[in-house]
Structure 1
């Protein structure tokens, strides 16, 4: 079952009859999640807004009484430029609601009010943050670093917001990226409800792959359950045979022999079908797929591919001149590890001691083909 990040419209927009100002109540301006950012060198990095950071008291407080702008300015909003950028302001009631940060706001600019009434209703925060190079995953989405000490500078009304349609004046879930032709494309993120009852967030293009993998894992889980049932039956058989041996001295040797045989069979089953080992193997493969995917792209079919196959495909995506026919697994592993170490995304620090970011996907885009070309040139240069 698939679930979208949709939300019901917030029916709380009102116009002040005296001033004409537009008031919006309980507006979500940011949400927890993992988001892409384009770095100065053209590479993409995934940064996490985790609950402990975005929903911290200091971050929530920073959303109070802040300027509202029409799109993001190219600088922080201060007293020196409010006449140029400020089109309204947030109230002083910022608060947490689930995984979102919400606040009331008032729009005072007639042009922006007109745009909002015509449908321009998505929001994006402009903020300062420290970037911690800590890798991890949040609800199934892998990230390269964590945004910490988030301090909101302004809230922009934009055409398309990084936090998705659920962060808007009236309510759905998408971002914009620029494709290799320079055209805007919508990139949906969807929530996949897994068979174990948990939810993970993935790009829409990956939904079929994730659901297929989940189905495979579910089938393996059923096999494990069947094997455990067989083990339980064998254990009961062993207990019964052991009891018979104790109760009937005349047949003790014969019963003990059968018990020993059953115990060996039980041990063999446990070794062959160790559930923990199977879980570890599945988790290891999922981790490797996440490591390889940035190199081979979303369209790559991982089905039936061994660990060696996947690593070779990742290496050849940046340098296809290497012949692995007679290379050992250790050679492939070492080359792949080196590939990862040499091409991990790194943080970019700016705007004094912290980074001023704008959550607008119209400003932060990623071209996979351009990134792969740069990586290949760097690899070829390193080997020479």
Structure 2
């Protein structure tokens, strides 16, 4: 009889280590169409094609990822200590339509409580192109699947993703271990899928709605704060302008009062600028100068002219005083140029010369 070889594939059974850890090579997921119940009760069917499930990058993403009790959302370095009860020891590998992986579970309390199936938490790109495969319709295709964690759950999404527990550990009586039949799929903003009871899904949606409302309120408050800051800046600019205008007005008032004092115009301290200008005009032009019914613009112009005339008169008097210098005897001495001019005038009058 010829000697031949046969290779029979048998599922590995989970074993417990001396420390009480559970180790297993288990089915982690599969290809095919997965159904997701939406919060509104409708069913969404998403296709996981082999080229995506078995993509090298997708299989590599299993290595070292934490095993968690239920789906905690996105597991990161900040919350891994809180949620991790085990780890995937290597990359996933294809086995027919399934993905196998080597697991080590350190905290077995969830298994002891009945969580003996597996459910992947992963990110993906959702291709919303509907189609049909093997006569089954689907609504979208999952692309670029990357595993974030592997959860221990009472019932896994893949159906055949479970630990290979011994018969003594396995719980096969649904009456003794009732499985929820109305679980719904919650998709997080991160892209992770979370299977939860309807009340949990509704609570999550309510929290998301509240978060959206809070963000909207925060945006409104920021807008109000920005508007208040803009108003404050405008007020500061206005205050600075008021200070500058007040300083300019104060300087102009002091100058006006000084001019009035120099020309000898009388005015009260609480007199208006127009009243002081009027007093200056009267002092320079005389009380007969009629300003009745004249506008402020007219009075300002008349004031400027009066001040200018007064200044010219004072300059002329000062010039005359400069031309005549008193001698030591105390009698005024006409300067030589003034005397020469007088002699020329007398000569012209007597007809002695016609030269200028």
Q: TM-score interval w.r.t. the shorter chain?
A: 0.3 to 0.5
TM-score by length of 2: 0.45
- Relative contact order (alpha carbons < 8 A, sep ≥ 6): 1 or 2 greater? 1
Bigger Cα Rg: 2
